[in-house]
Amino acid sequence: MSSHPSLPSRATQADPGGAPVSALPGVGPSLVETLARLGLERWQDLWFHLPLRYEDRTQITPIRELRVGESAQVLAVVDAVERSFRYRPQLRVALSDDSQATLVVRFFHFSNTQAAQFEPGTRFVCYGEVRHGAQGLEMVHPTYRRLAGDAAVITDDRLTPIYPTTEGLGQKRLSSVIARALERLPGDDVLELVPEYLRAPLHLCSLREALLTAHRPPAGASVRELLAGRHPAQQRLAFEELLAQHLSLKRLRARVRHHRAPALDGDGALRAALIARLPFVLTRAQRRVIAEIADDLAKPAAMLRLVQGDVGSGKTIVAALAALIAIEAGYQVALVAPTELLAEQHYHHFCAWFTPLGIEPIWLAGKLTGRKREAALAAMAAGAPLVIGTHALLQEDVVFVRLGLAIIDEQHRFGVHQRLMLSEKGRVGDQVPHQLVLTATPIPRTLAMTAYADLDVSAIDELPPGRTPVQTVAVSNARRGEVIQRIRSACAEGRQAYWVCTLIEESEQLQAQAAQVIFAELQTELRDLCVGFVHGRMKPADKQTAMDAFKTHQTHVLVATTVIEVGVDVPNASVMIIENAERLGLAQLHQLRGRVGRGSAVSSCVLLYQAPLSPLARARLQVMRETTDGFRIAEKDLELRGPGELLGTRQTGQMALRMADLVRDAHWLPTVQRIGAALLHDHPVLAERLVKRWIGGAARYADV
């Protein structure tokens, strides 16, 4: 029997927020449909639809004190107005204030009436994000209001919440609906789902107070704390949200591990044959991780293991040996990758390794149609031992007969839903396949504690011998000519080079050079060399042709978008140029840099940036110059940028965090684990309701 105090009787009442949004005044069928697109179907959904951020319209900031990357409100006078129609209509308005500084506001979508408002000498209050522009500091499409004559400036007395919204639903209307729902917010005796004996030692404010403060910050609330997410009310909500995330993944782990799985314990003959044929020796780290996987697979409980390793650490051969364990035991293996480029790379590797062993891998991707697709599906249904492909493996007509192991590469590109969809294809009664998840993005410990609470984690923390360190430099775009000369010299020595761009087409609004422009430029500058071009919008066949030409040295320089981030292996390529490197996160920069240094030649990576650099961009480029250690880079990326770059947007629940921040709120994680364990053990019904409250429909994956 548990020794904890008894709970209030109302804590187990029916969900108090279960009333439909249609029960609120003024919410008709059309608005109900719009709200449903945001998952807002009940009053409780509205209570916990928390602000993404706040706008601070409580003060006026002098133009001279504006900081790039921050949002601010200014009071200024119109100095000049310019309308242009080059490329597309554009309205530029030059403003100045008492600080004797100038700010330009730009509009791409405007009416003649709107443009006529900006008469020289007229005063305006403008709010927006400050950025670098061609004429200095600027705001693009700020919100604004015109002041009549010498009218006094009235600022807000509290922060303005900005909510996640959808097309056809403005902030004002959404705020109004949420306000009506908050009027029906019950007392804490009904709201609280974490028992008081677990909450009391944490000295947190009540949930009702936390919700009201988050939605309607009172005039006396600390603006600094609210904008930083450190207000006690926000911390109360962050704690509970992290707890719900943790509980959802722990529940998933428990349910999946409750399923039986085939005990895969082959005789080792195929593995020994493959290892004997390899032109390299496995590292200690690879052998350790393979042993951990083999130990899991030999058990009749479902394996859920994440293998993380730096770029080039040798995860693919580890996956191949894991696949052979299942094949030796008479079971099928499915390997799914997020892009056709990466999936094809795996297919070629596995064909080279497995065909001599008498195993013919099957290929399945979206571009495979007609008789070829039918033949692949028939082979799988007949028991083909190994299938490699993309999301196409998740489609309904894909059938396995004895799927024993599902391998998912680049986990951060998939969600929990998709991972379990593949697992479902091998379900026989309560028996499911083992799951092996791979990622080339090292995950910091704090992130793994929350994001991958449903997985055991192995790390390949040792690079194979012979990998040459990549020399990394950051170069201003003003020295572009020197960079092109570096490429010419490398190609003259028989080497190849990548030039990576972040956009496919030219964009006025973004300062990045477009890949098409770079391609044309390099064709002109490097007339004596063959320059190739590849991007994500190309037809798969054209993309593969461009990649094959580079792999076979027909192309000297490959201009590419970030489609080559993963899965491209050309050892002869020794130079990597990353255009507008200041726009990319550390994880992506590290992945791209990993495309060179794969051979014996000294390799270099040039981070080409557009000055001036923001403090964040400068810090990222400095980290890239200092280290090639992916684990250190991952920790720094989490610190600088947050979890989005590391996990992507599809990791179910994780990227839907509404209040919590895994860097800022990492101190809560040990407490979350302790209280989560108590809830699951003593109050499983409350734990279930807590997950449903914060994750909603996304929690359904746990029922798999």
Could you tell me the two tokens for 530? 């063959």
Which pLDDT score is estimated for 216? 93
Q: Please state which of the ranges 56-65, 81-90, 175-184, 638-647 shows the lowest mean pLDDT.
A: 638-647
Give 654-658 contacts, CB < 8 A, sequence gap 24+. 654/245, 654/450, 654/451, 656/695, 656/698, 657/241, 657/245, 658/48, 658/49, 658/50, 658/52, 658/164, 658/237, 658/241, 658/694
Ranges for all domains in the chain classified under CATH 2.40.50.140:
59-155
- pLDDT confidence of residue 484: 94
In this structure, the dihedral spanned by the alpha carbons of residues 30, 31, 33 and 36, taken in order and rounded to 10 degrees, is 180
Q: Whole-prediction pTM value?
A: 0.60
The pLDDT score that the predictor gives to residue 266 is 83
Please report which confidence band the pLDDT of residue 423 belongs to, taking 50, 70 and 90 as the band edges: confident
CATH of 59-155, one of 2.120.10.30, 2.40.50.140, 3.90.1560.10, 3.40.50.300: 2.40.50.140
Range list for CATH 3.40.50.300 in the chain: 257-460, 470-627
Asked if 608 and 577 touch (Cβ cutoff 8 Å), the reply is: yes
Percent of the chain with pLDDT over 70: 87
- The CATH architecture assigned to 257-460 reads 3-Layer(aba) Sandwich (3.40)
In terms of Cβ atoms closer than 10 Å to its own Cβ (0-12, 13-18, 19+), residue 84 is: exposed
**What radius of gyration do the chain's Cα atoms show?**
28
Q: Tens of pLDDT along 126-180?
A: 999 999 887 889 999 999 999 988 888 888 888 889 999 988 899 999 999 999 9
The string of pLDDT tens digits covering residues 658-689 is 888 877 888 898 899 899 999 999 999 999 99
State how far the Cα of 163 lies from the Cα of 538, in Å rounded to an integer: 36
C-beta separation of 241 from 659 below 8 A = yes
In degrees to the nearest 10, what's the CA dihedral of 557, 561, 564, 566?
Answer: 150
> How is domain 470-627 classified at the architecture level of CATH?
3-Layer(aba) Sandwich (3.40)
| pLDDT of the residue at 199 | 93
E strand intervals along 56-107: 71-84, 90-96, 102-107
Could you tell me whether strands 456-460 and 304-309 are parallel, antiparallel, or unpaired per DSSP bridges? parallel
The string of pLDDT tens digits covering residues 426-474 is 788 878 899 998 887 666 665 666 666 667 888 887 777 766 778 999 9
Instruction: Answer with the residue of higher pLDDT: 694 or 452.
Output: 694
What does the angle CA 177 – CA 183 – CA 184 come to, to the nearest 5 degrees?
A: 100
Share of the chain above pLDDT 90, in %: 47
What is the overall mean pLDDT for the chain?
Answer: 84
Tell how many helices (H) and how many strands (E) occur in the chain.
25, 22
